């Protein structure tokens, strides 16, 4: 069977990034680590973090999508990233202290954006566009109209 992992190129501090990520998610673990790279799991997703130097930079063109089930879970993950040097952007996205973009996205957002009624999906999208950190209660209010 094919083994697929997400490869993350850092200028430096790959092992430090892996340690942070594994401290944020309760189902995460470091698989291996050395001064130049680290391998870790978040849930069932494997990542390889590599210190490759300044040749390539992380951009928001690639982000890690984290699906959450509740506002409490969303707040916990979000707050841990922000308190460790992350920067909020918009629509549930943030950039961590190492430059990697993350989307912290509740099921209510993905459900609302894909609602069969285009008017409902638009209301949810419009509400999301006003947010930095996602507010599930505000999304639900927008969905209901």
Q: What is the pLDDT of residues 9-41, one digit of tens each?
A: 999 999 999 999 999 999 999 999 999 999 999
List, by residue range, all CATH 3.10.180.10 domains of the chain. 1-53, 58-145
Give Cα 141 distance to the centre of its chain. 24
CA-to-CA distance for 134 and 145, rounded, in angstroms? Answer: 18
> Residue 1: what pLDDT?
72
Q: What architecture is the 1-53 domain classified under in CATH?
A: Roll (3.10)
- How confident is the model over 86-114, as a mean pLDDT? 97
Answer for the pair 7, 50: CB distance below 8 angstroms, yes or no: yes
Answer for the pair 37, 10: CB distance below 8 angstroms, yes or no: no
pLDDT in tens, 120-141: 999 999 999 999 999 999 999 9
- Return the CATH class of domain 58-145: alpha beta
Task: Tell me the pTM.
Answer: 0.93
């Amino acid at each position: 069977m094919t083994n697929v992992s997400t490869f993350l190129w850092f200028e430096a501090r790959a092992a430090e990034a892996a340690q942070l990520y594994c401290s944020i998610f309760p189902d995460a673990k470091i698989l291996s680590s050395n001064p130049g790279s680290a391998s870790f799991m978040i849930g069932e997703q494997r990542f390889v973090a590599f210190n490759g130097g300044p040749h390539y930079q992380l951009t928001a063109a690639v982000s890690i999508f984290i699906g959450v089930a509740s506002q409490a879970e969303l707040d916990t993950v979000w707050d841990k990233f922000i308190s460790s040097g992350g920067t909020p952007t918009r629509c549930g996205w943030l950039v961590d202290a190492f430059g990697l973009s993350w989307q912290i996205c509740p099921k209510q957002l993905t459900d609302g954006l894909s609602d069969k009624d285009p008017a409902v999906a638009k209301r949810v999208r419009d509400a999301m566009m006003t947010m930095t950190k996602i507010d599930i209660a505000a999304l639900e209010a927008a969905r209901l109209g």
